[in-house]
Copies of this chain bind each other. A is one copy, B any other.
């Protein structure tokens, strides 16, 4: 597994970053600030959980305006299940940031991750905002990436450089652990910043297209957080001709954003709570791509499949069982199963003698499990973490 630490030395023209300690976490920085020189074109993707956290509700509204000057993040207290007081916390803290930065409050997006069901210590957060504004630096991206982590074992960053309209452009991303992977710690948070000049509609399309095959195709524990937030900020300091939707430059930009989000997604699964194995599940031959994705997700979310991943057990019957529970048509007499390139079942029946080789492949740090349903041309994939004893320990022994 390649750890994408490249962004640790990266600047993105027109952006400053900070990561400071306010005291929400037991140790380390826990308030991050991302600031654009001038309000950047912005696009966002948010949790589908029907109980979204206060910062999500505020940020969603503000991103809809199409411009953001800053993103304020605190880690250790998710501001979820906090009612009207939580909304007020999000508004007050971003208002203070706006005042100190000289921008409009509606241009500051709040994000949070951490415990849910407790009120945020507001004076602590306001102190963090002051410290963060004072610490802003073009070289602050690594500090910000560190500050947004909770129980992540390492900060997650990725970077791509490309040329758009002849001008060099940087696309950088910082993210934190996915799923509700940690004790009361909710949240996948990912921020993509680029100096490219991009039209608002193109930015929205880029983010939507890039999230679908990357961050929306992973699962650690199947629980969608109340706080998931992905933001793209395009500042425009690169001076390229504005990227418009469906242009060749737009395709290039979308590819770069998809690549950085793909790296973050992979790192999130690798660093999933208790995760010991990354399993790529590929489903082919479904009636549609949507069907294929549902089957892949059913396998990736099944506790029994995840336990088999953990044990390195080529238990293909469980995979077919999970596929049978995906709610889409399958014909078990047509299903082929391949584990790490070893065919273990064809047309729904076991292939004698294959399990020994498949078991060795299953025990790798990363393995691909492929199902061909032979019903059509739909294809989908997902990256899944395994289910380990450490996951249960961590999430059971933690107490509120």
Contacts and interface: CB of A to CB of B under 8 A. Distances in A.
A8 interface: no
Interface stretch (A24-32, A150-158, A282-290, A386-394): A386-394
B321 A49 contact: yes
Interface string A156-190: 00000000000000000000000010001010000
A388 B399 contact: no
Nearest to A181: B304
A94 to B, nearest CB: 21
A388 B400 CA distance: 18
Nearest to A344: B117
Contacts of A84: 333
Contacts of A323: 50-51
A92 B317 CA distance: 23
A240 interface: no
Interface stretch (A36-44, A66-74, A99-107, A307-315): A307-315
A268 to B, nearest CB: 16
Given A51-B323, A387-B392, A396-B310, A350 B317 contact: no
Tell me how many chains of this kind the complex includes.
2
Greatest chain B CB density within 10 A among A316, A320, A355, A398 is at A320
A320 to B, nearest CB: 5
Contact of A318 (B116, B349, B394): B116
B324 A226 contact: yes
Interface residues of A, number: 74
Contact of A349 (B85, B308, B316): B85
Interface in A39-86: 48-52, 78, 80-85
B115 A317 contact: yes
A87 to B, nearest CB: 10
A83 B49 contact: no
Contact of A83 (B78, B314, B318, B349): B349
Nearest to A329: B50
Contacts of A396: 307-308, 310-311, 313, 386-389
A391 B302 CA distance: 13
Contacts of A180: 304, 318, 321
A119 B321 CA distance: 16
Interface string A337-357: 000000001011110000100
A60 to B, nearest CB: 15
Contacts of A118: 317, 350
Q: Which 8 A-B pairs have the closest CB atoms?
A: A117-B317, A116-B317, A51-B324, A311-B396, A307-B395, A49-B324, A310-B396, A83-B349
Interface of A: 48-52, 78, 80-85, 115-119, 180, 184, 186, 221-226, 302-304, 307-308, 310-318, 320-326, 328-330, 332-333, 335, 345, 347-350, 355, 359, 386-389, 391-400
